Structure 1
Amino acid sequence: MMRRFFVSALIAVAALVMLPGVAGAHALLKSSVPAAGADLKEAPHQILLTFTEPPDPTLSLVTLVTSSGATVDTGKAQAVPGAPTELQLSVPQIPDGVYTVNWRTVSKTDGHVTGGSFAFGINTVASSSTSSTTMSASPSPTAPALVSRWLLFVGLALMVGGAAVRTLVRLEPSRRAVRTLLPSGLALAAVGLVGSYAAEAHAIGASLSALAKTSTARPDEFLGAAIVVLAVIVAALARRDARGLWLALGAAGILAMLIHALGSHADNPSRWRWFNLGVEWAHLVGVGIWIGGLVWLFVAIRGGADDDPTRREGIVRFSKMAAVVLVVVAASGIGRALSELNGLHSLWSTSFGKTLLVKGALFGVLLTFGALNHYWLVPRIRAEGTGTGALARSVRVEMAVAAATIFAGVLLSQLPPASYASTPLAPSQSAIVVTGSDFGTTVRLQLQISPGVLGSNTFDAQVVDYDTGAPVSVRSLVLNFTLPSNPDIGGSSLSLKRSGSDWKGTGTNLSLTGTWSISAVVQERTSAVSIPLRVTPKLPPEQISTIAGNPTLYTITLGGGLTVQTYVDPDTAGVANVHFTFFQSSGKEQPIASASATQTDPAGTTSGMKLIRFDPGHFAANTRLTSGTWT
């Protein structure tokens, strides 16, 4: 019997896993026009973003930012007719330079918030052989959101499991159990739904009323209607026990789980959409019958007499039902999980994969207890009429492990898969060089950035042992970029490729002025380390204008058509005034909210300058110059 059971389970799992899976999990950026890292010959008229799941246009935000940090006036991103996974942003006439596209959206499919950024240039390099990647990020799941989703599913499972035990197993629970467990399940589901809705509104940054007006809220609204129907049935069952009411409870609970599946990753548009929805639905119903049924079984057998033949037969029928449901749960769960993995390496390199391993381990514990009950305790109860107490103790442990397993499943539903990136190589040029080491001082990394300016750069990394300086065996190297001075700009990443003993790649990740934080993630054979670096891209070389009898004028292009002109008056040793004036591409003065300046004397000492505002875009500072070169 045991061999037939596990062979059947293996065949079902293998058949499902061999079917094609679909990419899912959150509205991540799949592609864009212009592409990340592209260098265009002329300015685009629009920006097109394609996501892995349909974004909600009313809750999405796309902005275009110049290298100086100014936001381009583009209007609001719009949906693309006939293309539910795309958003388009109209772009006015913009000058040459490096631009960052910052985006944030909410998936229509699962309501999850994602965001990120990527950069492109217009006539910034001699050839357009560079590329970069975006880093799509989803906020970490919050405790209220996770607990609410857990409560919602546990509540539905209690009602569906109770209906299965009463109608399929034909174990008749006491009236006290009915009047306690069913209202408890209903309350858990209702509280979980309200909590999930509030947590989603908080994550999106919208009010409850604003969220209610979007399509993202539809699954929760339908689920609320289903819970109202369940409440009516539970109230009727509290007054009288009728098989028809139990069947109605089970049907309404299964329908609620279908609505729950419609708000999951399985509803992502694809040719396999309905198949994936069916698999997800079967998984939810199977878990509900199995785990929810365990609670009702425990209540029915706890403290009862071993010689009750009706209860013994009910235990046997539950064991047979659980064996069938277990196959469905295992097959559907593994199939859905594998369809969201990005290769086996994702199991240990991503939060999704690590959580999946934890859930698998917990499921293994449940499987062990299930086998113990099915092949030892239940036959003993059936043949000898003894062992009910041992079964109750086993089920109690199963319920605890099951609660943790459901929580791991809820966490999985809130996590996105690994990001993807690809990077070509480019020739080396003059560079900025920065070095750093991991916290444990095991490896040292030297990163050369050529030419080290805003826009397209080549990144060349060398990794050596911290103590000996010998090359270190590295499997992969990824650079993650953030701009601490501007947290509204999403992070980006760049995967380097092996080139001899170095790791190289090209990208436009340094797209804005300021000091960037770079986290170099070095994956060795058995471990990974993170190396923090800080880089300030060089400004383009200044244009120097000299007119007899006037101070020397220095003009620096900031990007986005903005320039800053500076001069020293007089430009001789002694007391002098340093002037800074910002201009638009039209030649008009550009208003500046705030500015700061530093000076470096011939000895290399850097100090701050106290700026005085003359006009909205004109600042000046007093200083005392000595002979030599000042910066």
Structure 2
Amino acid sequence: MLMTMKRWMHRAVLLAALLLVFVHGQAAAHANLLRATPEPNSVHPEAPPEIILEFSEALEATGSAIELLDAAGQRLTTPQARVDPADATVMRLALPRLDPGVYTVAWRALSAVDGHLTRGVYPFIVGRGVATPQVATSAGPEPGNFGEARPLDVLARVLALIGGALVVGGFGMHLALWGPVRATLRLPPESGDRRLGRMVAVGLGLLGGGALLALLAQLQALGSLRTLGALLLESRFGGDWILRVILLELLAVVAHRAVRRGDRLLLLLGLALAGGLLATTTALSHSAAVKEDRAAAVLNDWVHLAAASLWIGGLVHFLIVSVPALRSAPPDRWERGLGMLVRRFSVLGIASVVALIITGLYSGWLHVGSIEALRATAYGQTLLVKLVLLVPLLGLAGLNLLHWRRRLGTAESARHGFVRTLRAETVTGLVVLAVVGVLTGLGPAKSALEARQTAALTLRETVGPLRAALTLRPPRPGPARFEVVLTDASGDPYDNARRVRLQFTPPDPSLGASEATAEPQGGGHYVAEGAFLSITGRWRVELQIQRPDGYDLFTRYDLTVDQSVQPAANETGGSGLGNWLGWGLIGVGLGVTLLSFWLRRQREFVALSVLVLAIGILLLVTGGLQALDLTALSGAAASTTNPVPPTDASIARGRVLYGQHCAACHGATGRGDGPAAAGLNPGPADLQVHVPLHTDAAIFDWITNGIPGSAMPAQGEAIRPEDRWNIINYLRVLVSSPTGRGE
């Protein structure tokens, strides 16, 4: 019988390999914004009649929306956005009459293909001469949609994966391995059934909890409980969720009767229902968004998930059902039965690993596609973590297969060694499933990399009489193209700049700033290229426009550099706090999950669960401490960057304050030749020399606290913080002015 199983296994593997050789497709995954009308950052003399957004996938009418916000962030009253009935990839919003100003489009897209939710914002302008805020846009899909895993969603996926493995592995192991071994050893027919019932009950509980959390996560993403009815009844996610709940209810009834009666047909029915539950998971997987051969891609995901569930769930069954049942048998049957189980499980394990390798390679080709995508995306990095964890998992499996299996009949210590290694293998397998839960919550690496490479980040500022748009291509660390577009108040290109200079100040200003000159390209375009944003953190990019017909113009852009480049948010610590709290809850959830496996003599599970719980609690405490330190974070941010934009009003205010507090010593031109300078020793610093050499933060500190050993007094009490920054903005103009007088 064993040889027959091996022959059929080899044939199935060969057939699967041949089928996968001929399948192909291109994954998109997630409904990502492709085109927008009006375009991001576009300027319109008159308001456009409607907003038209085109996405990479068909949309659900429920959960997809467009909102329009004015410059104050207030939502405007508009008709409800609608998905185009002729083309479900297009969403439209009719616009009312709009006054001149800056408007922000906030969109939300619920994919009808895979149920994932994406969102984004971009600005457009109505009317000429309107001042524009610093806003980022993306010419392609929003990069943030690919690298963010929502904690509640991840926890739901982890619970569902572990629960599915327990149910599939429990039924499969009981049918294929434990049942025949129990009959051969002539053990009582009900031997192990009670423990199987507990295992399946825990699995069903985790599946139910995962389904509930998945619904809550989707409602959280949509932002309203009022969408619950429409979400369940009108969306693909809702139909899949209802089917999952129905299968769970049927499976609970079948499992209860199958365990009580020991009926093989009911066990088979339970295994089939469990396979259907896995199908509800893969129906909304990344492969559901494949452009071609979608059925083959989804089937590949199902085979991959089923193989993993049989292997890891089978390990749990082996450990908490089969081994305890054998230990209660006479010693000769314990030894013989363990050997039979190991031989049979080896066949199941090898078949599962082969299936995982084949389907995993295909999924990797489909959703990753390159070493760069594996290295540079959140999906790829999480996949690497999974692959690293597979090394000890396969190592432990090999140790059991090649070492302990041959020694099971020689000594009791060998059997104990086998069980210890089995426990370690089981725990490692459950951790791998947890990592897979994170992985499935991220956008595919191939799509994320393509979005990052084709996307552009555009920031706009009004600088005196000019508008300056700074575009980064691509918006990520490393080599990039920095494009500056200058236009006047009427929207015409400004070509008269003598020099356009970019200065890049890193997160640690003490490292020094780097500079680049943007070369003129004609039509108001100036371009610089280089890897100026080279380390992660909060950067300041200053733009200086030297004009032959007036004083130099300055503006500043604050950027946060991580895996991508984004406009820097106010550093309040909120995002970090949410992540710490979310992952802390995941740690607690995993600890409770592992505790549920505890049976007698499984002390290792208790110890591991306590460890995971401790880690989760530690993360929660860390998040709480971070929340208490928000004020300190905000203060640190203020001490390193100038929060006051160098507008005309700021520079004018700074000129007045400089005359009141500084000119007596430093002089009208900053040369250190003011009327009070003659009586000072050492004399005042020459600002024309020193200001270009130092950061805004350093000058702010000197104005606030003075300079020890010099006549520079502390002005922290006399000048408000905002006015100190205004003075600094004026100093930047003063030292760059052709007349040396800031005019």
TM-score (norm 2): 0.57
Select which of 205, 222, 230 maps to 1:204: 222
- Alignment of structure 1 residues 442-481 onto 2, 5 Å: 442=511, 444-446=513-515
| 1:354 maps onto 2:354 in alignment | no
Contact map agreement 1:53 1:109 (CA 8 A) in 2: yes
The offset of 1:370, in angstroms, is 2.3
User: 1:312 touches 1:381 (CA, 8 Å); kept in 2?
Assistant: yes
Q: Residue 53 of structure 1 contacts residue 269 of structure 1 at CA under 8 Å; is this kept in 2?
A: no
Structure 2 CA distance for partners of 1:394 and 1:30, relative to 1, 3 Å: farther
How do 1:387-426 and structure 2 match up within 5 A?
387-417=414-444, 418=448, 419-420=451-452, 421-422=455-456, 423=473
Where does 1:41-440 land on structure 2 (aligned, <5 Å)? 44-65=48-69, 73-92=77-96, 94=98, 99-120=103-124, 133=139, 135-138=142-145, 140-169=148-177, 170-172=180-182, 174-207=192-225, 209-210=228-229, 211-215=231-235, 216-268=237-289, 270-298=291-319, 299-302=321-324, 304=327, 305=331, 308-341=335-368, 343-381=370-408, 387-417=414-444, 418=448, 419-420=451-452, 421-422=455-456, 423=473, 430=497, 435-439=504-508
Q: Is the 8 A contact 1:230 1:253 kept in 2?
A: yes
Structure 2 CA distance for partners of 1:48 and 1:601, relative to 1, 3 Å: same
Secondary structure class of the residue paired with 2:292 = coil
SS in 2 for 1:104: strand
Spell out, residue by residue over 1:589-615, the C-alpha distance to the aligned partner (whole angstroms, 9 max, x if none): xxxxxxx99955634479899xxxxxx
Instruction: Give the drift of 1:518.
Output: 2.2
SS in 2 for 1:345: helix
Deviation per CA, 1:298-320, whole angstroms, max 9, x where unpaired? 23135634654444223212111
Which residue does the alignment assign to 2:599?
none
**Amino acid across the alignment from 1:156:** G
What CA distance in whole angstroms lies between the structure 1 residues aligned with 2:563 and 2:390? 32
Give, in angstroms, the shift of residue 255 of structure 1: 0.5
The reply on whether 1:519 has 2:560 as its aligned counterpart is: yes
Work out the CA distance in 2 between the residues paired with 1:368 and 1:284: 21
Q: Unpaired runs of 5+ in structure 2?
A: 4-8, 130-136, 183-190, 457-472, 474-480, 487-494, 544-554, 565-570, 572-636, 661-718, 723-740
Output the amino acid matched with 2:144: A
Alignment partners' CA distance in 2, 1:120 and 1:450: 27
Name the CA distance, whole Å, in 1 between partners of 2:225 and 2:539.
32
Distance 1:222 1:408 in 2: 26
- Distance apart, 1:109 and its partner CA: 4.0
State the distance in 2 between where 1:306 and 1:533 align.
76
The one-character-per-residue Cα deviations of 1:110-143 (angstroms, maximum 9, x if unpaired) are 4443221234457879xxxxx9636353494344
For residues 380-437 of structure 1, what are the alpha-carbon distances to aligned partners after superposition, in whole Å with 9 as ceiling and x for unaligned? 5589999443332221111111111101100011122434315485667556855422
Q: Which residue of 2 aligns with 1:558?
A: none
Structure with more helix by fraction: 2
- The structure whose RCO (Cα within 8 Å, separation 6+) is larger is 1
- Match 2:33 to one of 29, 34, 38: 29
3-state SS of 1:407 partner: helix
Q: Which moved more, 1:22-31 or 1:232-241?
A: 22-31
Query: In the superposition, relative to structure 1, how do residues 408 and 458 fare at CA in structure 2: closer, same or farther (>3 Å)?
Result: farther
Q: Deviations over 1:185-208 (max 9, x none)?
A: 222221222222223322322227
Aligned counterpart, 1:602: 656
Superposed displacement of residue 160, structure 1? 0.9
Between the two proteins, the alignment pairs up a number of residues equal to 504
Distance 1:55 1:460, change over 3 A: same
- Conserved 8 A contact 2:172-2:314: yes
Larger strand proportion of the pair: 1
- Cα distance, 1:63 vs structure 2: 2.6
One-letter code of the match for 2:208?
A
Q: 1:16 to 1:389 in 2, by over 3 A?
A: farther
When residues 61 and 157 of structure 1 are mapped into structure 2, their CA distance, relative to the original with a 3 A threshold, is same
Give yes or no for contact 1:64–1:72 (8 Å, CA) kept in 2: yes
| Equivalent pair of 1:114/1:136 in contact (CA under 8 Å) | no
Conservation of the 8 A alpha-carbon contact between 2:507 and 2:537:
no
| TM-score, normalised with respect to structure 1 | 0.67
